[in-house]
């Protein structure tokens, strides 16, 4: 099939590359000229396992191309995916200006029948708004379909190629349904479930899924905070409850709050959708509140040890990305920690295997923040903070660390070490929901 993907970010580039890998002919469109020229040369602007190799192969075999021109990009398209940003507006609602802007442009550019597929995460009713925006100027038939994306950064290729489910909001029996079913056939033939539903239900499914997952995280974080107060061990509790199949083991890790480009904004957006409909989603509101609190727990632990004036203190920070296996720093808890420490006068020596460049762009060069290599970051520091659960942090050379650090104190926001091991190695160790080691 001839496919166009408009918006070539985390979702768009993975979508385009994977459909090309299945044998389709794909053009990816983006307004960012630097990104497009980088991708044309076979390089990915984001870090995502397997993506680079897959992209290169499909470019070489002429199934994947890139352009900044929407008009050229959609010339022969049978299916046009919109994978555009939907950032939060000030009131928490999803800002649809990118999606509706492109819909407008499609209306005056498209000159043949195509199925337009919304892959962005959008409020209920957006399919209808996209349709209206296109209809204003269009002279040909078209259909609008909702096909929310559930991939996880860090596992994006495998999630896209073998998804738990594919959700398509489309009129049953329509040409668009047939085309979408055909497009996803390589995946459904391999056992992935395809759920056809109406557009509103598809749009709601995406928000409900993310709100539920965020709820699981905030719930476990609250239980972990309570564990600290009553002397229980959050990791034992996690295993104890997670082995109940109705609860499940995944997404139960206590930590420093969820971040990333999806959960924070989607939780706010579904809350706003409810209040716009005169209904309060109380649980979802609390999930956000708990998360805001949780993002600060490491700073609270640090100030309990060092006080509120951190001038003259130096901290190493391992991990900047919002989670492991990505370079994405959007809403990363590490950023909150850096900002907090700098505002209290501390110096921060930060390291991340993939996300340093993005943090440099985000902060510029503020006083007190430097970027170092893995162990170099520990030089003469008063403490180490762990903010991302990269595998390379999990089994470090503790003896070497102690030699380099001024004080052997670790604030672990991801519970990657065993408190007993830390005791054996004579570290002072703070983690989430577990006993302090002093
Ligand atoms: N990142 C994820 O893990 C993930 C997962 C599922 C769903 N989503 C949803 O998918 C959507 C896209 O997210 P993302 O993380 O890929 O965003 P992103 O910011 O990484 O990418 C969006 C791309 O769109 C481009 N763009 C903006 N305006 C454009 C225009 N007029 N024409 C062409 N390109 C334009 C930007 O330059 C950017 O490259 C969002 O709604 C998000 O909520 C994201």
Q: Spell out the SS3 assignment of 160-182.
A: HHCCCEEEEECCCCCHHHHHHHH
Residue of 85, 101, 213, 362 to mutate, ligand 1, most atoms within 8 A of C-beta: 85
Q: Quickly state the pLDDT bin for 255 (edges 50, 70, 90).
A: very high
Q: Where are the extended beta strands (E) located within 140-251?
A: 142-146, 165-169, 193-197
pLDDT at 366 over 90: no
Residue 110 structure tokens: 């498209």
Q: How far is the CA of 11 from the centre of ligand 1 (A)?
A: 6
- The predicted pLDDT at position 85 comes to 97
Answer yes or no: 28 catalytic: no
Q: For helices 199-230 and 234-242, give the axis angle rounded to 10 degrees.
A: 140
- Interval 296-308 mean pLDDT: 97
Query: Over the stretch 373-416, which tens digit does the pLDDT of each residue have?
Result: 999 999 999 999 999 999 999 999 999 999 999 999 999 999 99
Report which ligand 1 atom has the smallest distance to the Cα of 153: 3
Residue of 4, 5, 11 to mutate, ligand 1, most atoms within 8 A of C-beta: 11
Query: Over the stretch 21-74, which tens digit does the pLDDT of each residue have?
Result: 999 999 999 999 999 999 999 999 999 999 999 999 999 999 999 999 999 999
- The predicted pLDDT at position 44 comes to 96
Q: In sequence order, what DSSP letters do the residues of 285-316 get, joined into one string?
A: HHHHHHHHHHTTHHHHHHHHHH-S--TT-EEE
Residue of 45, 260, 261 to mutate, ligand 1, most atoms within 8 A of C-beta: 261
pLDDT at 365 over 90: no
Bridge-partner residues for 411, per DSSP? Answer: 385, 430
Instruction: Quote the DSSP letter at residue 393.
Output: G
CA distance 424 to 44: 43
- Nearest CA to 257 out of 387, 153, 359 is that of 387
The answer to whether 321 touches 277, Cβ cutoff 8 Å, is no
CA distance 58 to 251: 34
- The predicted pLDDT at position 364 comes to 83
Instruction: Quote the DSSP letter at residue 351.
Output: E
Helix and strand totals (H; E) in the chain: 18, 14
State the average pLDDT for the chain.
Answer: 97
Query: Over the stretch 179-234, which tens digit does the pLDDT of each residue have?
Result: 999 999 999 999 999 999 999 999 999 999 999 999 999 999 999 999 999 999 99
Q: How far is CA 396 from CA 205, 287, 318, 333, 425, in A?
A: 41, 34, 12, 22, 12
Question: Percent of the chain beyond pLDDT 70?
Answer: 100
Which residues sit with their C-beta closer than 6 Å to ligand 1? 6-12, 29-32, 35, 83-86, 98, 101-102, 120-121, 149, 151, 153, 261-262
pLDDT at 158 over 90: yes
Q: How far is CA 329 from CA 89, 259, 356, 364, in A?
A: 19, 8, 9, 14
Q: How far is the CA of 186 from the centre of ligand 1 (A)?
A: 25
């Amino acid at each position: 099939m001839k496919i166009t993907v408009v918006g070539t970010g985390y979702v768009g580039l993975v979508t385009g590359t994977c459909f090309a890998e299945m044998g389709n002919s794909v053009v990816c469109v983006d307004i960012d000229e630097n990104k497009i020229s980088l991708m044309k040369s076979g390089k990915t602007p984001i870090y995502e396992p397997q993506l680079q190799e897959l992209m290169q192969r499909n470019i070489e075999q002429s199934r994947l191309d890139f352009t900044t021109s929407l008009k050229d990009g959609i010339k022969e398209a049978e299916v046009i995916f919109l994978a555009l940003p939907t950032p939060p507006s000030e009131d928490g609602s999803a800002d649809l200006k990118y999606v509706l802007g492109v819909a407008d442009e499609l209306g005056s550019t498209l000159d043949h029948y195509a199925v337009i597929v919304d892959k962005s995460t959008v409020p209920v009713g957006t399919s209808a708004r996209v349709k209206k925006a296109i209809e204003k100027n269009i002279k040909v038939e078209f259909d609008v379909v909702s096909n929310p994306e559930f991939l996880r950064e860090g596992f994006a290729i495998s999630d896209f190629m073998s998804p738990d489910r594919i959700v398509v909001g489309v009129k049953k029996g329509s040409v668009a349904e047939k085309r979408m079913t055909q497009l996803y056939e390589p995946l459904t033939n391999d056992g992935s479930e395809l759920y056809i539903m109406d557009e509103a239900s598809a749009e709601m499914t995406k928000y409900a899924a993310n709100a539920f997952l965020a709820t699981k995280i905030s719930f476990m974080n609250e239980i972990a905070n309570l564990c600290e107060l009553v002397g229980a061990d959050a990791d034992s509790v996690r295993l104890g409850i997670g082995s109940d199949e109705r609860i499940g083991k995944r997404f139960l890790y206590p930590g420093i709050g969820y971040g990333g480009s999806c959960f924070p904004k989607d939780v706010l957006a579904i809350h706003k959708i409810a209040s716009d409909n005169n209904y309060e989603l109380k649980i979802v509101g609390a999930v956000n509140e708990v998360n805001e609190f949780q993002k600060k727990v490491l700073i609270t632990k640090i100030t309990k040890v060092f006080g509120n004036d951190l001038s003259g203190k130096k901290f190493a920070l391992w991990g900047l990305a919002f989670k492991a296996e990505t370079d994405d720093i959007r809403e990363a808890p590490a950023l909150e920690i850096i900002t907090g420490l700098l505002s209290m006068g501390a110096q921060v020596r930060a390291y991340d295997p993939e996300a340093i460049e993005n943090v440099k762009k985000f902060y510029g060069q503020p006083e007190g923040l430097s970027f170092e290599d893995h162990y170099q970051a520990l030089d003469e520091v008063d403490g180490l903070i762990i903010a991302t659960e990269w595998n390379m942090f999990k089994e470090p050379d503790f003896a070497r660390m102690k030699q380099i650090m001024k004080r052997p104190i670790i604030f672990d926001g991801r519970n990657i070490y065993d408190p007993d091991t830390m005791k054996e190695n004579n570290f002072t160790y703070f983690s989430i929901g577990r006993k302090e080691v002093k």
